[in-house]
Structure 1
Amino acid sequence: MSQYTIPRPDGGDIVDLITEDHRLLEDLMRALRDETADRAAARSAFAEVLVAHSTAEEEAVYPRLRKKDVIEEDEEDEGEEEHAATNECLLELLRTDVSATKDFEDAIEKVAQILNHHINEEEITILNPANTDTPQDVREQLGAAWTARRNELLGQGCASVEQVQGLVTRAYDDGLLPNDDQPEG
């Protein structure tokens, strides 16, 4: 993937792992904004990390934290809705020609706006309680499950236009995105 290497840890404290991925996503967004960077490679790495990260959270972390009463159902739901909205903007970014500078930069900013909001909120409402209210051994178990799923998705290649379109379509079908905004497939 050109100069963008995606780390693939095999475990650790879930709070640290997710936070590290958030910093990676922010670094990749900076690369996407840099006209001298290989924007196509940065976009590919960004998309892969974003999809693998959020899918692994929804499957391996959120349900377990909710079951342990660390987060409420509405916090889990909001995280999933924000992932869906980010994927919807990611789809637009993936469909935008990197050489169409203004359109590409507009698409980057749409993703960045939603993602930055989500990162800030998740770190405050989900990761802080997970850090203080979840025993270390459970955070390590969550870290192992999350990294295994994230790495599996990265190994499969999880962020093609078609795959992200599928995630967005499912989000509409599941009511995570308002149907009145649903674009034509």
Structure 2
Amino acid sequence: MSSTDVVELILQDHRRMEDLFRTMRNAEADRAAALAEFADLLIAHASAEEDEVYPALRRYKNVEGEDVDHSVHEHHEANEALLALLEVEDTASEQWDEKLEELVTAVNHHADEEERTLLNDARENVADDRRAELGQAFSKARTQYLESGCGSVENVRKLVAAAGD
């Protein structure tokens, strides 16, 4: 039985993203397929966090509201970097490598910060049963986003445009 602890689920996604970065950096790999999986995962993950996890964490006095706001801001930055990579047509180009590194930097910075701040605070201040409830809500939302093809270039364009408003 896999864990339903929201902290563990978020960490699992972060590790999967790191695996996909390794694949996307490998010129021999199917970079386009790895990017498609990554795009769906990133958008579903961030959207589920914003829908289900962040609003709940805001209610805990030992979780910094500013950390939540900062995480949302970093999701927008990651989406912009993702869009830039999705718009590169040639996966063997220097432009691909450049845009990939910008995406890696944005996502790894966010994941690292989130793990040190929000997730540690959640582990310390949110009861196990509540983390399990949040994990179920996160998983459900994440699955719905994944099933909707949320990582398509059209959808990522819409998200980036909406964040810019």
Q: TM-score range by the shorter chain?
A: over 0.9
1:37 maps to 2:29: yes
1:142 maps to 2:119: no
What is the CA distance between 1:70 and its match in structure 2? 4.0
The farther-off stretch of 134-143 and 63-72 is 63-72
How many Å separate the matches in 1 of 2:84 and 2:66? 27
1:103 maps to 2:95: yes
1:77 maps to 2:85: no
Indicate if the aligned counterparts of 1:86 and 1:114 stay in contact, CA closer than 8 A.
yes
Give aligned pairs, total: 165
Indicate if the aligned counterparts of 2:48 and 2:141 stay in contact, CA closer than 8 A.
yes
> Given the alignment, which residue of 46, 51, 68 partners 2:43?
51
What is the CA distance between 1:99 and its match in structure 2? 3.5
**Higher relative helix content:** 2
Deviations 1:27-84 (A, max 9, x none): 0011000001000100000000000000000110001011122422211110000000
Indicate if the aligned counterparts of 2:74 and 2:106 stay in contact, CA closer than 8 A.
yes
- Give the TM-score normalised by structure 2: 0.96
Cα 1:114–1:89 change in 2 (3 A) is same
1:68 maps to 2:90: no
How many Å separate the matches in 1 of 2:82 and 2:46? 12
1:94 maps to 2:86: yes
> Given the alignment, which residue of 113, 118, 121 partners 1:121?
113
Q: Counterpart in 1 of 2:143?
A: 151
How many Å separate the matches in 1 of 2:27 and 2:145? 29
- Higher RCO (CA 8 Å, separation ≥ 6 residues): 2
- In structure 1, what residue type is equivalent to 2:142? R
Unaligned runs of 5+ in 1: 1-8, 174-185
- Give the TM-score normalised by structure 1: 0.86
Cα 1:95–1:43 change in 2 (3 A) is same
Indicate if the aligned counterparts of 2:74 and 2:110 stay in contact, CA closer than 8 A.
yes
> Given the alignment, which residue of 157, 163, 166 partners 2:155?
163
